Amino acid sequence: MNDLVNSALHVEGLSVELGGARILDDISFGVDPGTTLAIIGASGCGKTTLLKTLAGLIEPISGRIRLGAAQVEHVPPHRRGIVYLNQEPLLFPHLDVFENVAFGLRMQHLPEAQVRARVTHMLVQLELDGLEQRSPHALSGGQRQRAAFGRALIIEPALLLLDEPFSSLDPATRRAMQALFRRIASGLNSTALFVTHDLRETLTMGDQVAMMRAGRLHTYADREAFCLDPATGVMREATFWQDLAVGATRDARHDTDTAGS
Amino acid sequence: MTRRALMLAVSVLLVLPVVLLALLSVSRHWSWPVLLPHAWQWTQWRELLAGQADLCAVLLRSLGISVSVGLLATGLAFPTSRAVARHRQRGRLLALSHIPFALSPVVLGVALLYGFMQLGLAGHIIGVVAAQLIFAYAYAVILLSGFWNERVHALAALAGTLHANRWQVWRHVLFPVARPMLGVCFFQTFLVSWFDYALVLLIGGGQVTTLTMRLYGYFGSGDLRLAATCALLLLLPPLVALVVHHRLPATAVAVHFEVSRE
């Protein structure tokens, strides 16, 4: 798939057990710098556990995690440079939009002028300018998600972990958020892992693609390999839509013929 | 209409004892069945304001003890409740927290007295604070354990990945989010201490006098007017706190709901 040695993220032999059950089983993969690896998998296959383990929120029983040149499997979460974004946009309820986005910068004690400039720039990029003083509960779902993205991206993490971030949004907002994320992440050259259970989203968001099943990760050389693997269900999905389109065309032709005669 | 009448009746029932105490504290002669006192006097209040009845000093001492107990119990119980909430034996630990209630303050006081005498804490204000703290701390742990849900843990974990170290997570996330709940906890533990009689009597051994003890003393001596004045003083701090924080429970619920909802 990619050169593991030169990857931004390199995971080797990662295994996790929770409550005596093996959740991640000997996982190895790499992610190239400035790219997004999209991982698809059914609920309960271990996607969230993988992200939380990479973020340092779950302790693995074995395996190595290298981020850039540093081994980070024993580094505490706040020193890893990895941001984990939950399925729902967990904004801090006691802070307004500006302070939510500024949170990571404030924790690093950056100068006030720098914080103001960077947050203001990020809010404009996120199309949240004018909502700085709003409290999280006064935002729509899409706005909350954008604020959560801004808060994560502004600290320029070495790795961004996104756990089905658009699953709770309506289709139109979801598409807009996908485009927005691609644009901002590309501008910042962010390296990301994007977990989803949606085929289309996997192919839209991922520069590289992988599939997770029963705690094991299968990575693909390219999108074509992913699409041709029967296990991913891409061909099945394509056939379904193709049949539907053919059927609709045949019905339309039949209606036209009937009307003509 | 019925609802309004019921509300009025409940309000009158709640306010009437306070009005009665206020009238009693300024009456000189008041006999049944006359509605209001025949004669008035301000002796009790004059004595109080002049410091002759020593009530001001007792009031300040009581406030000092209760504020200390409230602050210490809330401050200690907050991290404890988190540790309990994250512990595998959460249910068992919470059950253990109920032990001071099962004992009751009187039995707890008797149980503590011997140890406190050995430590030189009996008859000392620190001993009273320590004894009340055991009771209030357990109460606060139980109260605050309800705060720690999955969302709060997720917020703390998220802050950790956003460069916040352990102390910053407490300072910038957990304390602000829990503030309304901590306010309620402080108020409740303050009241536990403020109205306590048994522990002050047993551990204080007559050396430490609080307003509650003084109130019992006045009733015992038959000076009902001074007792009424003292009772009004006893009511004052909780009433002020209630007025100041009259929106607190609603806010606490709102913030907690918001944290749960997000």
Residues A29-72 have pLDDT tens digits of 999 999 999 999 888 889 999 999 999 989 999 999 999 888 99
A97 has a pLDDT exceeding 90:
yes
Inter-chain CB proximity A136 and B262 less than 8 Å: yes
CA distance to A23, A26, A242, B103, per residue, from A217 (Å): 11, 9, 29, 56
Inter-chain CB proximity A103 and B164 less than 8 Å: yes
**CB half-sphere exposure, B70, CA atoms < 13 A:** 23
Same domain (yes/no): B112, B239: yes
User: How many structural domains does chain A have?
Assistant: 1
Joined together, the tokens standing for residue A201 give: 């989203």
Rounded-to-integer distance, Cα A168 and Cα A166, Å: 6
Rounded-to-integer distance, Cα B152 and Cα B235, Å: 36
- Whether residue A227 lies inside any domain: the answer is no
- Whether residue B49 lies inside any domain: the answer is no
Residue A248 identity:
A
The whole-number pLDDT of residue A4 equals 46
The whole-number pLDDT of residue A211 equals 93
The whole-number pLDDT of residue A260 equals 66
Inter-chain CB proximity A104 and B163 less than 8 Å: yes
Rounded-to-integer distance, Cα A251 and Cα A157, Å: 53
**Residues with Cβ within 8 Å of residue B230, at least 6 apart in sequence:** B55, B211, B214, B215, B218
Check: CB of residue B254 under 8 Å from CB of residue A136: no
User: How many structural domains does chain B have?
Assistant: 2
A235 has a pLDDT exceeding 90:
no
- How does DSSP classify residue A94? T
Rounded-to-integer distance, Cα B27 and Cα B46, Å: 13
- Choose between A78 and B168: higher pLDDT: B168
Same domain (yes/no): B127, B1: no
Percent of chain A whose predicted confidence (pLDDT) is above 90:
47
A254 has a pLDDT exceeding 80:
no
- Whether residue B155 lies inside any domain: the answer is yes
Give the nearest chain B residue to A83 (CA atoms). Answer: B161
Phi/psi at A163 (5° precision) = -100, 90
Check: CB of residue A53 under 8 Å from CB of residue A30: no
Residue A173's pLDDT band, with cuts at 50, 70 and 90, is: confident
Inter-chain CB proximity A77 and B179 less than 8 Å: no
Same domain (yes/no): B11, B110: no
Check: CB of residue B78 under 8 Å from CB of residue B178: yes
The whole-number pLDDT of residue B249 equals 47
Give me the residues paired with residue A24 across strands: A16
CA distance to A147, B59, B86, B105, B225, per residue, from B124 (Å): 55, 17, 37, 18, 30
- Whether residue B99 lies inside any domain: the answer is yes
Phi/psi at B71 (5° precision) = -65, -45
In chain B, residues with a C-beta closer than 8 Å to the C-beta of A84 are: 157-158, 161
Same domain (yes/no): B18, B106: no
- How does DSSP classify residue A134? -
Tens digits of pLDDT across chain B (262 residues): 688 899 889 888 888 888 888 888 888 777 777 778 777 888 877 776 676 667 788 889 999 999 999 999 999 999 999 999 988 888 898 888 888 877 788 888 888 898 999 999 999 999 999 999 999 999 999 999 999 998 899 899 889 889 899 999 999 999 999 998 999 999 999 999 999 999 999 999 888 989 898 888 888 887 788 888 888 888 888 888 777 766 554 444 444 444 444 3
Q: Which own/partner contact pairs does B221-229 have at CB distance under 8 Å and 24+ positions apart?
A: B224/B24, B225/B24, B225/B25, B225/B27, B225/B43, B225/B44, B226/B44, B226/B47, B226/B53, B228/B21, B228/B22, B228/B24, B228/B25, B228/B44, B229/B25, B229/B44, B229/B45, B229/B48, B229/B55
Domain region containing A120: 33-56+77-214
In chain B, residues with a C-beta closer than 8 Å to the C-beta of A96 are: none
Inter-chain CB proximity B158 and A93 less than 8 Å: no
- Whether residue B48 lies inside any domain: the answer is no
Same domain (yes/no): B13, B67: no
Domain region containing B156: 54-261
CA distance to A7, A174, A251, per residue, from A200 (Å): 25, 12, 27
- Whether residue A83 lies inside any domain: the answer is yes
Rounded-to-integer distance, Cα A78 and Cα A2, Å: 28
Check: CB of residue B146 under 8 Å from CB of residue B160: no
Residue found by looking up tokens 């300018």 in the block: A129
Nearest CB neighbour to B163, from listed A57, A95, A155: A155
The whole-number pLDDT of residue B241 equals 77
- The mean pLDDT value for A242-258 works out to 78
For residues B139, B141, B144, B148, the Cα torsion angle rounded to the nearest 10 degrees is -150
CATH number at residue A157: 3.40.50.300
Percent of chain A whose predicted confidence (pLDDT) is above 70:
96
Joined together, the tokens standing for residue B67 give: 């504020």
- Whether residue B47 lies inside any domain: the answer is no
- Whether residue B249 lies inside any domain: the answer is yes
The whole-number pLDDT of residue B255 equals 44
Same domain (yes/no): B117, B187: yes
CA B76 to the chain's CA centroid: 16
Distance from CA of B146 to the nearest CA of A (A): 18
- Whether residue A16 lies inside any domain: the answer is no
Rounded-to-integer distance, Cα A104 and Cα B72, Å: 31
For chain A, what is the mean pLDDT? Answer: 88
- Whether residue A98 lies inside any domain: the answer is yes
- Whether residue A256 lies inside any domain: the answer is no
B21-46 residue pLDDT tens? 888 888 877 777 777 877 788 887 77
- Whether residue B106 lies inside any domain: the answer is yes
Same domain (yes/no): B59, B143: yes
- Which run of H or E residues covers position B262? none
